[in-house]
Structure 1
Amino acid sequence: MWYVPGILALCLLIIVIKRRLTAKEFEQEVTELFALPDGLTNQAFSYTQLVDLPGPVQAYFRHVLKDGEPYINYVRLKHNGQFKTGLNKKWVDIKGEQYFTVKKPGFIWKGTTTLFTARDMYISDKGRLVVSLFSLYNIVNAKGKKFNQGELLRWLAESVWFPTNLLPSEHLRWQPVDTQTAKLLFTYKGLSLSYIVSFRNGEIIQFETTRYMGDEKLETWIGKLGAYQKINGIIVPTKIEAIWRLAKGDFSYAKFNVLRIDYNLPKKF
């Protein structure tokens, strides 16, 4: 049994090296994201942009943005919360950090639990999900057209954290539905996305769309938002919940609490 301590030491060394390599890979992905040409804008928001928008959309922008607010080009944030990996799984604590480019759609998110590390991303117009067990080896490495759509949908909904991105543009438009609801339409690189967006008291409280659940069929996906606060002069939600609406009922799988948001600092924490 004299060799047991040596084997344990070797295993520990392998774990340390692998985790450092995983962390390095994430750093490289963040660097790649921020290195892409982004078509930066010096544009500022004006209430005159709201004239032809649906009523609840106008009320939202008047509530969350001040006249003259500069457009946001880059975003980084940190959060904590809870996450479920499956329908019958228990909630686990999670902490995460996320980075966005705005003019050119892109993001990368890393979520860490005691069991796994997940990286969700949309970089260079490609979506990808990587899940590493104990940060050691990949148990999921998913990509393709369905993930391109799903990750771009995530980026679009999470624009509530940088709401100048939800203003009308060459890719984005709003359509009226009723006094509390509007339809958000987004076209990019051959993808046509849409959300039914619900408002209350000038705040977005829900996004609803159809989205691929993993690599399977399309299902109804809902994002619920709340606990709005003023951060860096902009009013944004600090709580978000992600839900699949399935035939057997609603499946909530993510509840995040935003801890920090920085704008126009294109570098890793």
Structure 2
Amino acid sequence: MVRKLFEKERAREIDKCSNIINSEVFSERDITFLPEPVQKYFKVCGYMGRPKIFNADVIWKKSFIKLSPEKGWTELETRQFNSVIEPVRIAYMKALSMPLQVRDIYRDGQGHMYGKLFNLIPVVNAKGKEISQSSLITLFTEILFIPSYSLQSYIKWEPIDSVTAKARFIHKNIDVTGTFHFDETGKFSRFETNDRYYNKKGGKFIKKRFSAIADSYLEKDGVQIPNKVRIIWHLDNGDYDYFKGEIGNIIYNIRD
């Protein structure tokens, strides 16, 4: 079953974290090398003095996907797990209007999207260079949702100005860049990259501008987390809103 595959892979990643001693907290010394707006984000969103994060469950309250620019929105049940020390992202998505389940993973430099109809008939089995790079970029968009990612050696930061910073994500054989934008309060508002592959009809992959937008924030246990988010492809014939959702919570440092 697709759901069981997600649960098995999540448990495997959690087990890798079993020996991590979670006594360190985010400090000024940790963030001094970061560009000005990223430092401000840590402070404004309440992470300073809190435990550093080694993994997280992202709890989606609502989520929707548009399978092509011409189609309408499909509502999803979405579960997501991220790990930090070695970058990992695993998501389970179940369509509520059709018998389709999908597991999407980035791990060890490889991306893989696998899906079944009726939990029996394989209909998606996407992998390869373009899928791996695109899967890593999905994780890239979330490095401020789970901000310990920002401190890892595979992320290289470059300052731009007081509300913008560029980052380079280098992992295994993948090397991509993106730009992070922040609003006047210091919260992350938009990520943009030109390094993600768009799958055109006929199976041809081309790079297109890609954005992730955080429209609002929610306070949970003294931390400001992104709440309503959108994913957009910027195509030649106009913008294609691909995904939208509402995060209800992010639970950090999962051990079971």
Higher helix proportion (structure 1 or 2): 1
Q: Deviations over 1:138-196 (max 9, x none)?
A: 211001121221111111212232112223x3222221222321101121113212111
Retained in 2: the 8 A contact 1:240–1:256?
yes
Retained in 1: the 8 A contact 2:44–2:187?
yes
Structure 2 residue aligned with 1:71:
52
**CA shift in 2, pair 1:50/1:72, >3 Å:** closer
Structure 2 residue aligned with 1:23:
3
Structure 1 residue aligned with 2:198:
213
- Quick one: distance in 1 between partners of 2:210 and 2:255? 30
Shift of 1:98: 0.5
Retained in 2: the 8 A contact 1:77–1:262?
yes
Specify which of 168, 172, 179 is matched with residue 189 of structure 1: 172
- Quick one: distance in 2 between partners of 1:266 and 1:193? 31
- Quick one: distance in 1 between partners of 2:156 and 2:38? 11
Retained in 1: the 8 A contact 2:2–2:102?
no
Structure 2 residue aligned with 1:91:
73
**CA shift in 2, pair 1:103/1:233, >3 Å:** farther
3-state SS, counterpart of residue 53 of structure 1? coil
Number of matched residues?
246
Shift of 1:204: 0.7
- Quick one: distance in 2 between partners of 1:37 and 1:144? 28
The alignment's TM-score, normalised by the length of structure 2, stands at: 0.88
The alignment's TM-score, normalised by the length of structure 1, stands at: 0.84
What CA RMSD, in Å, does the superposition of the two structures yield over aligned residues? 2.1
Identity across the alignment (%) = 29
- Quick one: distance in 1 between partners of 2:29 and 2:11? 36
Retained in 2: the 8 A contact 1:238–1:257?
yes
3-state SS, counterpart of residue 59 of structure 1? helix
Structure 2 residue aligned with 1:15:
none
Specify which of 256, 260, 265 is matched with residue 249 of structure 2: 260
Structure 1 residue aligned with 2:156:
173
Retained in 2: the 8 A contact 1:225–1:240?
yes
- Quick one: distance in 1 between partners of 2:229 and 2:18? 27
Task: Please give the residue correspondences for 1:133-148 in structure 2 after superposition, counting only pairs within 5 Å.
Answer: 133-148=117-132
Shift of 1:221: 0.8
Structure 2 residue aligned with 1:152:
136
Shift of 1:76: 0.8
Q: Deviations over 1:120-151 (max 9, x none)?
A: 11133321012323433121100112122111
Structure 1 residue aligned with 2:115:
131
3-state SS, counterpart of residue 153 of structure 1? helix
